[in-house]
Chains A and B, each alone.
Chain A
Amino acid sequence: MNLKRIAGTAAVWGIVFSGQVQAAFTWEDYYEIETIDMPEGVDPQIGGIDSNASGQLVVCFHRGEVMVYDEASQEWSTFARGLHEPLGVFVEEAGTILVVQRSELTRLHDRDGDGVADFYELVSNDWGMTGNYHEFAFGPVKDSQGNVFLSLGTASHLAGIRDEIRGEWNDAGGLTMRDFRLQEGDPDWKEKKENLPRMYARVPYRGCVLKIEPGSRKAEVFATGLRTPNGLFVDAKDQLWVSDNQGDWVGASKLHLIREGGFYGHAASLLWSDNPPDAIPANLPVETLESLRTKAAALMPQGDCANSPTQILEFRNSFGASRSGGASGQLILGDMNHSRLIHYYPDEVGGQLQGTSTHLLDTQNLGMGNNRLLYSKDGRTLYLGKTHLSWPGREGMKRVTYNGKPYLQVDSVRLTPSGFEFTFNDTIAAPTSVEDYEVEAYRIAYHSSYGSKKYELETVPCSRISVEGKVLRLELKEKPVANRVYDIRLPQEISSSLSAISSHRFWYTAHEVY
């Protein structure tokens, strides 16, 4: 390991390269990270954040409160209470607030204008529930036509179902309710479990993305194949993005661009597709599932890149130094297990959407558990709402404000026939010795067991590095191959007149190659 690399990890270390002197990059030089005080008497785990017309934050909490926070006065007020694990809020134009609970999509009205909800209107409860703890409901987001999108978590094989369920049980493949019924302290449960698939979707429409049209209480299946889709986002082009968490059929956490009728890989929810199998979906041949599925826009390898990605937002120029943000389709995501965000750069090869993930705001001051993200109106501030439930995470809220000072950041990452092309937001100085660049490639499996090893893991040496203005090109000794994730570590001494490189490790998902 060379000395220059080490220098990058020490915030105080000055580095000298090509005549330029840049201190190692420190996020705190560009972002102020503050903690927002939580209201008293509330379990400060946050399921959703939005802002209202007055610019106040509207926040929903683990135990069912929806509260309004006025930043100027730093005061919280309670708008609604008693909701069931609300995991998303959306302030509508009329001032009403949509909130998704385990059991329903609810519209909260304040009809007398006293600042407290007085009508909890059911918008839709058109989906099933078995009472399994893992059956979360996520959303809501709206497209430009006013359609609401939600997503539903699958049930966990680590627990059973309740005696009373909602929705018709689907017994495809001969699995009946009795097979899944869990009585308190059931001694047979362990044995029962052995014969069951992992995450399951036996009531409508677990593991699906749902669309609810304006004025309708009917939920339509928009897409299938999700496991724990805890992040929805409609971009400026009305495209729906959904994140999913690593597990069975999800070898690494995923970012999906969702199209109507698409199947995104997790087998269980095929029961709710237009053409449902008359079999246990997890027992279908992998080749069959493979032929049905749409591959993820990004695979985010467990631990290294992301664990349990959360909400998605567009990356805004106002929040960072990138000069092609916004229009270029870059996204950011939260992560439950790590004190950082994920920054996604799209790429397209042969019509296949794929792309690169890296880290943003990778600093312990951010804290982990960043479940919900919201930009301020001016786009300079990002609010982070934290949770953990029974998993890793944290509580409370952070406010992260960009000071507008430009820093060196990657604007795009493209696959080339021979390697990768990084375009920066400034003219760079970078080492050109191939030894300074580390690239590993491996395959993430698509299979029914949990997660994935790094199959066919190998180091891929670079054969040539070239630097031309803002562009850095890596040529690999062996041409990139399809169905790989490339873990690319750039040297930390890449710098420009702005700063040292802000993030130097990238995971490129290469479903297709040139």
Chain B
Amino acid sequence: MKRWISKRNLRLGGLFSCVATIAGLAPLNGEELAAPPAFQTNCQACHELDRALVGPSLVEISELYTEQSRADFIQWCLEPGRKREFMPQMPSMVHIPEKELSEIFDYIKKVSVGVKRVRTPSADPLAAHPSMVRRPRVERTFLPQTGPASVLIALPTSKKLNVVWDTDKCRLRYISQGETDRWPYLRSNGNALAKVGDIVYEEAQPLFGNEAVFFKGYEMDRNGYPVFIYEVGKTTVREAIYTEGDAVVRRFRASPRLPEYVLRNSDQGEMETKSELEGETLTITHNPKKK
């Protein structure tokens, strides 16, 4: 069983030899060095000896601060800034008395002597897992060039087309092409946007004009394709998104009547877009242009 113990216990190390193997101690020239209690309580959850965890390793901190920069270290603890894009800023350690911060500094300097930094690459451990790359796939995350409450629908077409659909505006914002990547979002705890590939089609204006819209949710069919449900004025619209061969298809149904619509796209020249109205069902098909 691991049990953190404090320096005060060590003075009686001879009494119970089991402490030598207890975590919280680091090897130092054949002796054992105990972390000060304030380190155990406030630091070790984020800082490991030789590798970055939530914050930089003790070895890296020791490299950053020479023996002469004790005051800088203490000042940083009291008023931390941010040095690394993908690491959170450390909270202020203002609640720790400066004397104890100084002890923490001593500990970091001593415990790091002769220890090598282990660099751990940041890569998505699930990057290639089928559950993360399967198509069709519907996922909500922070996406570029749309509102914060948008949905990505990765479709199983040969060009890996993706639809980005905004639940606040109740409409398709764009179609992109290529692999998507949520890792920038996940790695930064939501501070960066997911990647969606290249945008190949945008709809600059809402299909149903500027009438008030209300999102009601979406159904998922057995094959994993969504049907978005929303109100345009007093009409409930059902918008299914699916594929036919290499084409993205959007099928709109409404009752009692489909609201008036105008399809204005700013085609990037990559897609051929067709619309067809049959009764109260509108079908819009986006086909990659053959080159």
Binding site for B on A (CB under 8 A): 1, 3, 6, 9-13, 28, 41-43, 62-64, 81-85, 101-104, 106-107, 116-122, 125, 129-131, 133-134, 158-159, 162, 164-166, 246-247, 252, 301-304, 307, 337-338, 363-365, 368, 388-392, 449-454
Contact = CB atoms under 8 A, between A and B. Distances in A.
B167 A104 contact: yes
Contact of A158 (B82, B95, B218): B82
Contacts of B219: 118-120
B189 interface: yes
Interface string B123-142: 00110011110000111111
B131 A125 contact: no
Contacts of A12: 16, 18
Contacts of A307: 42, 45
Given A125-B149, A125-B215, A388-B54, A159 B191 contact: yes
B138 A133 contact: no
Contacts of B151: 82
A6 B190 contact: no
B5 interface: yes
Given A63-B186, A122-B217, A41 B131 contact: yes
Interface string B29-65: 0000000001001100110000001100000000000
Interface stretch (B68-76, B83-91, B108-116, B155-163): B83-91
Interface string B89-123: 10111111100000000000000000000000000
Given A41-B132, A390-B87, A133 B140 contact: no
B41 A392 contact: no
Contacts of B149: 84, 102-104, 125, 129, 166
Given A41-B131, A450-B94, A117 B220 contact: yes
Given A133-B188, A165-B148, A304 B41 contact: yes
B216 interface: yes
Say whether chain A's binding surface is mostly helix, strand, loop, or mixed.
loop
Contacts of B137: 81-82
Given A9-B6, A364-B23, 19 more contacts: A9-B9, A10-B16, A11-B1, A41-B131, A84-B141, A84-B149, A102-B149, A103-B148, A103-B149, A103-B167, A164-B146, A164-B147, A302-B42, A338-B45, A390-B86, A391-B54, A392-B46, A450-B92, A451-B93
A116 B223 CA distance: 12
B96 A303 contact: yes
A3 B12 CA distance: 9
Contacts of A122: 167, 215-217
Contact of A451 (B54, B95, B125, B146): B95
Contact of A364 (B1, B131, B140, B215): B1
B41 A451 contact: no
A104 B141 CA distance: 12
A122 B15 CA distance: 63
B290 interface: no
A452 B97 CA distance: 11
A116 B186 CA distance: 25
Contacts of B198: none
Interface of B: 1-6, 8-9, 12, 15-16, 18, 23, 38, 41-42, 45-46, 53-54, 82, 86-89, 91-97, 125-126, 129-132, 137-142, 146-149, 151, 167-168, 182, 186, 188-191, 215-221
Contacts of A363: 1, 3
A504 B154 CA distance: 55
B136 to A, nearest CB: 10
Nearest to A217: B214
Contact of B38 (A42, A81, A303): A303
A83 B167 CA distance: 13
30 contacts: A9-B3, A42-B131, A43-B126, A63-B139, A64-B139, A81-B138, A82-B139, A103-B148, A116-B220, A118-B219, A121-B216, A121-B217, A125-B149, A125-B215, A131-B148, A133-B190, A158-B89, A162-B148, A164-B147, A165-B147, A303-B96, A364-B2, A365-B1, A390-B86, A390-B189, A392-B46, A450-B92, A451-B91, A452-B95, A454-B97
A366 to B, nearest CB: 11
A1 B8 contact: yes
Contact of A129 (B1, B87, B148): B148
Nearest to A445: B94
Contacts of B186: 43, 62-63
A337 B45 contact: yes
Nearest to A133: B190
Contacts of B54: 388, 390-392
B142 to A, nearest CB: 6
A459 to B, nearest CB: 14
A164 B167 CA distance: 13
Given A1-B8, A41-B131, A388-B54, A28 B91 contact: no
A363 B1 CA distance: 9
B218 A120 contact: yes
Given A9-B9, A41-B131, A133-B191, A451 B94 contact: yes
A120 B217 contact: yes
A120 B88 CA distance: 33
A303 B220 contact: no
B215 A391 contact: no
Taking each of B12, B38, B130, B189, which has the highest tally of chain A beta carbons within 10 Å of its own beta carbon?
A: B189
B148 A82 contact: no
B242 to A, nearest CB: 15
A104 B167 CA distance: 10
A512 to B, nearest CB: 23
Contacts of A162: 142, 148
Contacts of A452: 94-95
